[in-house]
Amino acid sequence: MALILTFLGKGGVGRSTIALAAAKRFARQGKRVLFAGQDAGPALGLLLGITPSADPQELEPNLQVVQFQTTTLLERSWEDVKKLEAQYLRTPFFKDVYGQELGVLPGMDSALALNAIREYDSSGSYDVIVYDGSGDQTTLRMLGMPEIASWYVRRFRNVFADSDLGKTVSPFIQPIAAAVLNVNWSGDMFNQPVAQQANNLLEQGRAAIADPNRIAAYLVTTSDEAEIATAKYLWGSAQQVGLTVGGVILNRASGSDNLSEAFAPLTVHAVPTQAVNDWQPLIDALPDFDQATQVPRPIAVNVAERKVSLFLPGFDKKQVKLTQSGPEITIEAGDQRRNVFLPDELRGRAVTGAKFQDNFLIISF
């Protein structure tokens, strides 16, 4: 499994340059690195100095680069769908639809990029994957996709099973499905092989996002006020998807810049303006990315004290909303919602209090 690293910040702060410098640093340490760019335009090629392709190619020793091209990823994923269909359906019907004719719908690029990262990670070919995405809410929603998708599956599975419709149609669906599928169908229709494979992938994705040893992000900003505010907002939003932010990189820093208080308790690392074709000063100024595990975790559960704490920097209490539904609590902050599935010891207990203190939302049961 690889370390997956990404960078967040307002457009124009130099995220891609920082990301490539990080990739070069890991590669020069002897690690096998993949630099994955999301931007399909010409800017990535200008930064790399080569024309990137949809397949990894070597940029320098230990460092490969790939440009995610949504149409290519869609074609490849569609072939996987057809193989899966042929495995489980007696009479496949997607076989006459070809990937080359499929158009790209909104949101497909993020989902396909996330799947590509998962495949490169599981290949065992890389020690580090540096993902150069949009660095904004789109990147965060992409990384939060396993958490949100698993919630939809879990929630609607329970709703359907408990509904009159579910109880009525299940006895009819199961024998019909068994006649169509190449599997023995019995019991919970959401627990069949195809659904179980999808659930396993979602659980693996959730576990990876929650582990800073596996996936981490760093904020990139300059001393510009708007860019600092955007970085702080993205910091809080990253906590909402369970993504650990390991630190702040102050790009194009001058000697008078000091953002330590604005981003406490994160460490702010000042990096100089990059000289033309001289990456080494920038590489040397980057933080130790292994230290991401030392920062506050997005969520902490204290069963003994019956408390759940969520670290939500960048927001004030007026921007945070809490609701409870059954065994889950939903936290809304900014433009993000997070559903927290409570442990058995707290499940069924009503929220008795909540306070917002020192960037933490502390919920009592």
pLDDT tens-digit readout, 147-192: 888 888 877 777 777 777 666 766 666 666 666 556 565 555 556 6
Against a cut of 0.85, is the pTM above it?
Answer: yes
Question: 187, exposed or middle or buried, with CB in 10 Å at 0-12, 13-18, 19+?
Answer: exposed
Q: Cβ–Cβ contacts within 10 Å for residue 85, how many?
A: 15
Q: What is the pLDDT of residue 172?
A: 62
Determine how β-strand 128-132 pairs with β-strand 63-67: unpaired
- Tokens for 202, please give them: 């979602």
Q: What's the average model confidence in pLDDT over 286-303? A: 88
**Do the Cβ atoms of 76 and 116 come closer than 8 Å?**
no
Strand 215-221 relative to strand 245-250, pairing: parallel
All structural domains of the chain with their residue ranges: 3-72+102-148+206-294, 299-364
Residue with token string 């596996």: 214
pLDDT at 179: 60
Single-letter code of the amino acid located at 29: Q
State pLDDT tens for residues 110-127. 999 999 999 999 999 999
Higher pLDDT, 88 or 343: 343
Who has greater pLDDT, 36 or 180?
36
Listed range (25-29, 107-111, 221-225) with the worst mean pLDDT: 107-111
Q: Which residues contact 195 (CB under 8 A, 6 or more apart)?
A: 153, 189
CB atoms within 10 A of CB 340: 20
Question: Residue 331's pLDDT is what?
Answer: 92
- Name the pLDDT band for 39 (thresholds 50, 70, 90): confident
In this predicted structure, what is the pLDDT of residue 279?
92
Q: Are 327 and 339 in contact (CB under 8 A)?
A: no
* pLDDT for position 180: 57
**CB burial readout 283-313, b (16+ within 10 A) else e:** bebbbebeebeebbebbeeeeeeebbbbbbb
CATH entry 3.40.50.2300 includes domain 3-72+102-148+206-294: no
Contact residues for 245 (Cβ-Cβ < 8 A; gap 6+)? 8, 216, 217, 218, 219, 235, 238, 239, 266, 292, 295
Tell me the fold of 299-364: Immunoglobulin-like (2.60.40)
Cα distances (angstroms) measured from residue 240 to each of 147, 196, 233: 10, 26, 11
Task: Give the Å distances, CA to CA, from 319 to 13, 95, 131, 336, 361.
Answer: 26, 49, 30, 11, 11
**Is 13 in a helix, a strand, or coil?**
coil
CB atoms within 10 A of CB 326: 11
pLDDT in tens, 61-97: 999 999 999 999 989 888 888 787 777 667 777 778 8
Average pLDDT, the chain: 87
**At residue 198, does pLDDT exceed 80?**
no
Helix, strand or coil, per DSSP, at residue 76 = helix
Please report which confidence band the pLDDT of residue 200 belongs to, taking 50, 70 and 90 as the band edges. confident
Strand order in the sheet with 33-37: 57-60, 63-67, 33-37, 128-132, 3-8, 215-221, 245-250, 268-270
The answer on pLDDT for 272 being more than 60 is: yes
Largest CA distance in the chain: 72
